[in-house]
Amino acid sequence: MKKTLIAVAAAFPFAAGAQVEQGPPSANFEPAFENQTRAPALDGPEVSYELVTDGLSAPWGIAELPGGAFLVTERPGRLRMMQADGTLSSPIAGTPEVAAIDQGGLLDVAVDDDFAANREVWLTYAKEIPGGYVTAAGYGILSEDGSELTDWTEIFEQAPASSVAKHFGSRIAFEPGTGNVIITTGEHSAPSERVKAQDLETHYGKVIRVDRSGVAPSDNPFVGEAGLDGIWSYGHRNIQSAAIDEDGTLWTVEHGPAGGDELNQTEAGLNYGWPVISYGVNYNGNPIGSGEAVQEGMEQPVYYWDPVIAPGGMDFYSGDVFPEYEGDLLIGGLVASAVVRLSLEDGLVTGEERLAPGVGRVRDVEVTSNGEVMVLIDAGEPDGAVMRLVRGE
C-alpha cells in the first residue's frame, strides 16, 4: 500500500485552511502528498480532564482488566492494580527484574484477550544482560487476589545487547485471529547503534511478530532468508505506539529526532527508512542519513509531525462517550502535552485535533470497554497520574 501513496496522493493539492496550532517546523521538507502533515483541524466536543489517581512514579503503560480495574506500570519496576475509583494496590509481586536506567525500566502492559480463562498479563521491559541492555517481553499469571504474578515466562529478548540504555521501544499487541504477539523495539539512539535499524541480523528498530512461545510464524517475511525470523518490518527509530484497527491492520507511531515523528501502517517485510531518510533533522540541525525524506524502496509515513508530539501509546476509539471519535486514533503526546486525535479514511489522515491540551506528558492512552478514555501522565512521584477525559456540556 505505501509504495503507491505518493503516486495516488500526488493528484491532490496540498491541504489549505485551518490547521492545529503547533509552532514552526524543525526541518524544511515538503510533504509528499496531501495531509501527510498538518492536516485540517477537526471539530469536536469540548473536552477537559479529571484526576483518577496520582502518586505514581514515571507510569508507562495502562491496560484495562475485565470488571473495570486497570494495571499500571511504573518505569522503576513496579506493576500496580488501580480500581475504577482510583485506589492503587501495593506493587504486585513476581514481576521480572528490570534495568531501570536512563530510558529503561518496566514499560508496557497488556492483558490477554482470553484473560478470564488464562489470567495472562504481558509486559515489556528493559533488561541488562552480558554486554549491555536489551528490550524483553514475556507474561505471567495474575493471582486471583491480584497480588502477584506467577510462572513468569520470557518469550523475547532483543539481540544483540547494546551499551546504550536508550530507545527501548516498546509496545505489545495481540494479532487478532492468530494469537501472535507484536512487540516493537527501538534502535538504542546512538549514531553507532541507529544504523542497525537497517540490519536484518539485529532486532534494533524493528517490529517483531512471534507466537506465544516466542517462535516466528512461518509466514513472517524473513523466515528462511537472511535476517532474524521474528522481524516483521524494519527501519524504525523508537516505536512507542502500536494499535490494531478493526480490520486487523497494525499501526505504529515512532519518535523522530527534531521533527519527523511518524505514523505508519506497518506491513510485512517493508523498510521504513530510518536512519537513511527522515522528515526530521538531528538535534544539532544537521541532516539525517541521506538528508532526504523520500527514497526508492523505503516507505513513506502515512503522517508525520514537525515539530514533534513525542508519541506515547495509542488506541483506536470505539464507544458511546465520544461517538464523534468512532474509528479515530487517539495518540499520547509527551511534548504535545495532549491526546492527539487523528481521523482516517482509506488509510490516509483527514484531520487532526489536540484533546485536553495542558494535561501533561501523555505516556499512554487506553479506551475502556465502556468508551471512556484513560490517560497516563508520565511524571515523577507524586505527579505521575491517571486522568480521565471528560466531555464538556
Provide the H-helix boundaries in the chain: 5-9, 115-118, 191-194
Res 10: pLDDT = 34
User: Cell 536489551, residue?
Assistant: 134
The span from the CA of 103 to the CA of 188, in Å, is: 10
Res 157: pLDDT = 98
| Confidence (pTM) | 0.94
Res 233: pLDDT = 98
Enumerate the domain spans of the chain: 2-391
How big is the chain, counted in residues?
393
Measured distance between the N- and C-terminal CA atoms of the chain, rounded to whole angstroms: 41
Pick the closest to residue 207 from 225, 185, 178, 229 (CA basis).
185
Res 62: pLDDT = 98
- Among left, alpha and beta (phi > 0; psi -120 to 50; other), residue 297 is left
The span from the CA of 33 to the CA of 299, in Å, is: 13
Q: Which of 167, 188, 203, 255 is catalytic?
A: 167
Res 17: pLDDT = 62
pLDDT tens over the chain, length 393 residues: 344 343 333 333 344 468 898 899 999 999 999 999 999 999 999 999 999 999 999 999 999 999 999 999 999 999 999 999 999 999 999 999 999 999 999 999 999 999 999 999 999 999 999 999 999 999 999 999 999 999 999 999 999 999 999 999 999 999 999 989 999 999 999 999 999 999 999 999 999 999 999 999 999 999 998 789 999 999 999 999 999 999 999 999 999 999 999 999 999 999 999 999 999 999 999 999 999 999 999 999 999 999 999 999 999 999 999 999 999 999 999 999 999 999 999 999 999 999 999 999 999 999 999 999 999 999 999 999 999 999 986
Helix (H/G/I), strand (E/B), else coil: 126 = strand
Provide CATH code, domain 2-391: 2.120.10.30
User: Cell 500526488, residue?
Assistant: 10
The span from the CA of 105 to the CA of 97, in Å, is: 9
| Phi, psi (degrees; rounded to nearest 5) at 86 | 95, -5
Tell me, yes or no, if 167 is annotated catalytic.
yes
Radius of gyration of the CA atoms of the chain, in A: 20
